[in-house]
Chains A and B, each alone.
Chain A
Amino acid sequence: MSGTAGGGRIERRFAELRAAGRAGLVTYLCAGDPDAETFWRILAELPAAGADVIEIGMPFTDPMADGPSIQAAALRALAAGMTLPKVLGLVRRFRELDQATPVVLMGYYNPIYRYGPERFLDDAKAAGADGLIVVDLPPEEDDELCLPALARGLCFIRLATPTTDERRLPKVLTNTSGFLYYVSMTGITGVGAAPVEQVRQAVHRIKAHTELPVAVGFGIRTPEQAAAIAKVADAAVVGSALVDTVAKGLDAAGHATAGLSQAVLGQVKALAAGVQAARS
């Protein structure tokens, strides 16, 4: 069943990466953090800075699987007026600039449920999103959003974790499409990192069950760590480290300072260089 929903851009991007013999860099930032305009300046430049796949966080007040960095980012974005319709507006605007870079919307189910799942999927698809990661929708709740998403050609990207054992892995892979996001450690985002050898074994174990690309995240902060993951996985995901750079670029009143967007983009460039050089 895996990979049947042709997300298009995601499949093409991973095929290109395979052909180029390298892993990809997946970046996560929360939409509207710290404000809509600063976020847009970053988003528009992410492909040029080296992001191969862009995850855009849909902010939620109670992100129970995320750490303090990402919760703070969500609360900043909400305080600055971000909403789910505005997130979709950002995707639409991005697609006017860039037709090639896959966009994955990541968040929690309640804002989507409130918006109306079917309407959300139609609007996300029309805006130019390629995939969804909805943290609190396990396979047991697939009829809520996953199956209708696949029916519309949107990828539904699932997380696998160290607690996903051999018995559970097939269930997680069923109806997963685009890529599999392997969370390299138990716990919340932004805290600690797993040894590369453990990650290598986990990716190997997952690859025995699926042909989907495997992206690995949680705890990757430096170009060196990204490079190490890029040696053993199809992509490295970096989120909290970028979100922390956003936080550091705020003044005492919580407003973006002049150098904020360039600081984030500079960090993405360095991470991309690490990933791109990893297998050469």
Chain B
Amino acid sequence: MTRVNSYRSGPDERGRFGIYGGRFVAETLMPLILELEAAYEAAKRDPAFKAELDHWLADYVGRPSPLYLAERLTAKLGGAKIYFKRDELNHTGAHKINNCIGQILLARRMGKQRIIAETGAGQHGVATATVAARLGLDCVVYMGARDIERQKPNVFRMRLLGAEVRPVTSGSATLKDAMNEALRDWVTNVSDTFYLIGSVAGPHPYPAMVRDFQAVIGEETKQQMQAKEGRLPDTLVAAVGGGSNAMGLFYPFLDDAEVKLIGVEAAGDGIATGRHAAAISAGQPGVLHGSRSYLLQDDDGQVIEPHSISAGLDYPGVGPEHSWLADMGRASYVPVTDREALAAFELCSRTEGILPALEPAHALAHVAKIAPGLPKDHLIVMNLCGRGDKDIFTVADAMGAKL
């Protein structure tokens, strides 16, 4: 393992985490991302921006989210003490809104009138439509036609919030294609449009900016664990698609070497089947959507269609900072299959009375694997980053139940 003084100093001035990240975009977009970077740097230094953000997070999102001891689950698994970071209790039901509030306040500072976003499961689309409605800005959400089919409730939510949902039929008609389409919109409508990216992906400065807006998850966790247990947690576990909820939880702990960080990737039908979305576990470094990171691709560098039961994890890439943390050995990334995630979904529902989204159900499946083998004073925090209401149709389908 290469030693560094701090894992928290990235990205460098080129927007890179080691070899990952960067600004691999068409020239049309370069002036826009440079403008965005300058605006974000200025906002970060402005105490008024921080105060405004804190106010919105408290009164509109409902932060801080609780750090909850999952007592029955802990007893049932019979090992480590398991805490949930309850980001599913946020307004709109997931962690996505933390970042949306940050970016839309930035968009307003920049005088942008029109917001565009991509969405997979629809959680980011709903969160974007929500904050756009609250600030009275126009909102267009790109969503793969296949995802529209499997996430109907979220599509209707977005429409109720006044957003226009544009179906994307190109390519595989899922999240990666929605992102292609949003980028195409942005290069067409450069002057008035703000592209609100939902994950720690895309060209610099997005991976760092989204991480910063999500870091509130880890910062709260640190304080809350100090208050409850008087020390740091031992292990953090979070689902990784693009990886924004995981990055938000991990980032404040990166320099606490004793805290183990585990990202859980979607293994779909199993890594060996080739039908999965595990970019770090089974991909190679590549360049897509503006940054270099681990990517599911064939030998010719063509992007492979990912597969996961969770639309939010169904993405062929991963945020560049995760790729770097994986290479550095600071965080480890493990696969969990559709079947394991569904079992964890049921376990959480029946043991804790919480329907988790299918994304954190992946994280929980890994917790269920490791907790029994750990001592009772080992503290695990799992990021319960979204609620499962949006997934009931998918889960019913998988269980063979008719609604």
Q: Which residues of A contact B (CB under 8 A)?
A: 60-65, 67-68, 71, 75, 78, 83-84, 108-115, 135-138, 140-141, 158-161, 163-165, 168, 172, 183, 186-188, 191
Contacts and interface: CB of A to CB of B under 8 A. Distances in A.
Q: Interface on chain B toward A: helix, strand, loop, or mixed SS? A: mixed
Nearest to B170: A71
A163 B190 contact: yes
B187 A60 contact: no
B183 interface: yes
Contacts of B284: 114
Nearest to A74: B302
Contact of B300 (A64, A75, A111, A137): A111
Interface string B78-89: 000000000000
Contact of A186 (B24, B183, B190): B190
A204 B190 CA distance: 23
A75 B189 CA distance: 26
A114 B300 contact: yes
Nearest to A112: B301
A115 B298 CA distance: 11
Interface residues of B, number: 38
A140 B23 contact: yes
B170 A68 contact: yes
B187 A187 contact: yes
B130 interface: no
Contact of A140 (B14, B28, B295): B14
A83 B288 CA distance: 18
B180 A113 contact: no
Interface in B1-41: 14, 22-28, 30-32
Interface centre among B23, B30, B190 (most CB of A within 10 A): B30
A114 B170 contact: no
Interface string B277-298: 0000000111111101001010
Nearest to B284: A114
Contacts, number: 114
B184 A188 contact: yes
A207 to B, nearest CB: 18
Given A65-B184, A168-B30, 5 more contacts: A62-B176, A62-B177, A78-B302, A113-B301, A140-B14
B171 A168 contact: no
Interface of B: 14, 22-28, 30-32, 170-171, 176-177, 179-180, 183-184, 187-190, 284-290, 292, 295, 297, 299-303
Q: Interface on chain A toward B: helix, strand, loop, or mixed SS? A: loop
B26 A65 contact: yes
A152 B299 CA distance: 25
Given A62-B171, A186-B28, A114 B23 contact: no
B27 A138 contact: yes
Contacts of B170: 68, 71
6 contacts: A65-B26, A65-B187, A113-B287, A136-B290, A140-B23, A188-B184
B31 A165 contact: yes
A140 B291 CA distance: 12
Nearest to A59: B302
Nearest to A161: B28
A118 B289 CA distance: 23
A137 B24 CA distance: 5
Contacts of B30: 138, 140, 163, 168
A141 B301 CA distance: 19
A110 B187 contact: no
A138 B26 CA distance: 6
A71 B289 CA distance: 15
Contact of B27 (A60, A75, A115, A160): A160
Contacts of A63: 180
Contacts of A108: 287
Given A136-B26, A164-B27, A109 B180 contact: no
